[in-house]
Amino acid sequence: QLRPDFYSRTCPSVFNIIKNVIVDELQTDPRIAASILRLHFHDCFVRGCDASILLDTSKSFRTEKDAAPNVNSARGFNVIDRMKTALERACPRTVSCADILTIASQISVLLSGGPSWAVPLGRRDSVEAFFDLANTALPSPFFTLAQLKKAFADVGLNRPSDLVALSGGHTFGRARCLFVTARLYNFNGTNRPDPTLNPSYLADLRRLCPRNGNGTVLVNFDVMTPNTFDNQFYTNLRNGKGLIQSDQELFSTPGADTIPLVNLYSSNTLSFFGAFADAMIRMGNLRPLTGTQGEIRQNCRVVNSR
């Protein structure tokens, strides 16, 4: 039902308008590309890619922005607002917030050095948010491989390549120390660091995230090329330099079917880029609202007035 040329007649400038906002924003905020990709991911895992994550609290529902995986970490909402405002000027009541987030993710990846792919379009926007589901459906940085696989399979992403390729979104962006500290000092209650951590990387991380330090300090996911979308993430995993447990698990879980994929993507950029584009399309197709379902929100933060 979704198709890449959905707006070719009704809003042909949609890609350029979104791209211009991101290019402008990147000049002052190099994190924004990763932040936008994460918003799309956190949207799609909660009842499909329906822009429910963009809704603020109303009298009928609580915002997903308050859910544990999003609070104080999901960001870029104001940038999506800028895109929406520009699009409402150019093509009123035409482009959904869900499609804006999907297109913006693809362009963010491309502008950061990653692959391009034809984004299927035609999603519509939800008229409610799902706070409780956001608390349970999103994968945690403390997950084991088995828990990660279940979280992905629960939304319909059941191929090992879905999990391994989409985790590669951590080739750019940042995480807060509070999601890393346990691995550095007291992994799983052992009073020792995570044994999979590379010793020199462990020392570096301990300097950035001291034992009782400020948990809001940001650390780069990719220590080598922090703002570039490349396959360095997988090479880092092979070297014990994954920042969060749930990423390192992909390579360090004995006998896991994810290990050959980490090795492949680490040695072959095109394999990773192809798998990432494929997995992004699969994720973008999760339970979309189409046709007359949902609505085209005029302001991404609020449901249209009835």
Residue 86: pLDDT over 90: yes
Residue 50 annotated as lining a ligand binding site: yes
Cα separation of 87 and 1, whole Å? Answer: 23
Q: Please check whether residue 146 is in contact with residue 183, taking contact to mean a CB–CB distance below 8 angstroms.
A: no
Ligand-binding site membership of 246 (annotated): no
Catalytic pick among 38, 42, 47, 301: 42
What stretch of H or E contains 23? Answer: helix 14-26
Q: What is the dihedral of CA 104, 107, 112, 116, to 10 degrees?
A: 140
pLDDT score, position 205: 99
Mean pLDDT of 282-289: 97
Residue 42 annotated among the catalytic residues of the structure: yes
The mean pLDDT value for 66-90 works out to 98
The Cβ-side half-sphere exposure at 85, using a 13 Å CA radius, reads 8
| Inter-CA distances, 278 with 264, 281, 282, 301, Å | 16, 5, 6, 29
With cut-offs at 50, 70 and 90, classify the pLDDT of residue 136: very high
- Rounded to the nearest integer, the mean pLDDT of the chain is 98
Position 232: which residue type? Q
* Contact in structure between 4 and 118 (CB atoms under 8 Å): yes
194 known member of a binding site = no
Is 171 annotated as ligand-binding?
A: yes
The reply to whether 240 sits in an annotated binding site is no
Residue 199 has pLDDT above 90, yes or no: yes
Q: For 219, which DSSP code?
A: E
Q: Are strands 218-220 and 174-176 parallel, antiparallel or unpaired?
A: antiparallel
Give the chain's domains with CATH numbers.
Answer: 14-138 (1.10.520.10), 145-280 (1.10.420.10)
Query: What integer pLDDT is reported at residue 1 of this predicted model?
Result: 85
pLDDT in tens, 231-264: 999 999 999 999 999 999 999 999 999 999 999 9
Stated pTM of the model: 0.97
**pLDDT value, residue 306:** 79
pLDDT of residue 33: 99
Q: Is 154 annotated as a binding residue?
A: no
d(CA 233, CA 242): 7
What is the per-residue pLDDT across 7-61, written as a single tens digit (0 to 9) for each? Answer: 999 999 999 999 999 999 999 999 999 999 999 999 999 999 999 999 999 999 9
Is 164 marked within a binding site?
no
Tell me: the pLDDT tens digits for 72-82? 999 999 999 99
The span from the CA of 57 to the CA of 131, in Å, is 10
